Chains A and B, each alone.
Chain A
Amino acid sequence: MLVQLLANGILSGCIYALIALGFGLIYTTTRTFHFAHGAIYTLSAYLFYTFYSLYAWPVWVAVILATAAAALAGILIDRVIYLPLIRRGSSRLVPLLSSTGLYIVIVNFIAIVFGNNTKIPSPGVQPTLVIGTLVLTRSQLLALGSFVVLFVFVLVMLRTTSLGRKIRALRDDPELVSALGINPLKTRTIVFGFGSSLAAIAAIISALDVGIDPNIGLAATLTSAVALFVGGVGILEGAVFGAFLLGTLQALTIWQVSARWQDAVTFLLLLFFLTFRPQGVLGRRHRSDEVAV
């Protein structure tokens, strides 16, 4: 039982990790708390549902279109909402609030078009893989597979490509970047596009697993934020580590306490880290944490 729960925890961690990876890329590179990431998650899920279940297009077409649409939406949000605010010199709270407003708009629009009830893109029982006492569904295997492939891809991209270097530079010192003449705009575009695609993939896998409703995005945003801040803000591995930590912790909570208290445990964990170790498990303290006089 415990083994199954832990396996479930790790596998839900894969979904969280995909979302958190995208959210984390955006946050560490642009320092924007992209609350609307959850809206992109919901949007992708519903677009996939539309293409796959309503129009009955082949599954790969639906996946690619939904993911591409998500990437486009993410880039548009950055251009239309965030960049004008940043150019104006806003503090970081203003994009966060606008992002929240945007989340509300998108999610409610989806609710009007599709209704508030849960939709299931893939009805019927899922095929499973049985290993000893462990039962793994197709969705869980998809999640694991996608996560591994994409995470390795991101790690390789960050370490070896010039784009990766630019992202790491932006992450470490945004002001320095403009001085060095690296064009932040192109990097932002790629980061928002790719980050949104990750969210889309996570959304599609989850949609095939448990179905969709307009509120799934909120949990996605919040979980990825918790994963990022608990795992470690300055580094991407932190978001992933945090995601698995959360997945495991939630599984343990379900086992020891009850599923209903999951969220309380998640946020108590975040509060603990914010209070005692704001840089997260894997992060490092920055000089700017000391008072700048």
Chain B
Amino acid sequence: MEPARSSESELVGERLACRRGERLVFAELDCRLAAGGALVLTGSNGSGKSSLLRLLATLLIPDSGELLWGGVPVAQDAAHYRAQLHYVGHLDATKPALTPRETLGFWATMRGTATPAIDAALADFGLGAVADWPCRWLSAGQRRRLALARLVAAPAPVWLLDEPTAALDRDGEACLAAAIAEHRAAGGRVAIATHQKLTLADADIIVLDDFAAPPEAAVAALW
């Protein structure tokens, strides 16, 4: 169609709408994430930050609208698009009985990464000293760091982070900021849902409250 669509490896959401149960969370939302770009999603509780991220991660299907990767609808080749993205949600996906090293190795294997940078990832997030402890001994912040270390262990161009700084201390936030800066410098893209002040250079900001569906529309859609 129009030339803007065909730009290589750009993530574009067009007129996205998301429905959770019977409630239309947001509608008519456009977003664009180019190489090296950053998208900060803010908004009040329940405004749909997490839903938008899960939608971008193909874990939710948009009620209407379309998601395009490199100009191609994501639905056409979901497996290809999923290989491009990292999703770090609220939950850390760690197992109490596994060590951080095993956890990173396992998730890198699941992504099909042959040579994961596990030691670098552990070092980047300050987990070197606890790398061989079972995760049940880790604090909430350390488990959070471990979830974020997945980003470094197996590279992928798109990072989708849901409240990544929750439970992180100041040093952890610095680790994350450094990882994001390095990722963007290499042409990576990142979308972050947060309600904290996060210092990201020239990031696009989407305030989810601006796209809240009017209540009557929700009722009309329901009946």
Q: Are A and B bound to each other?
A: no
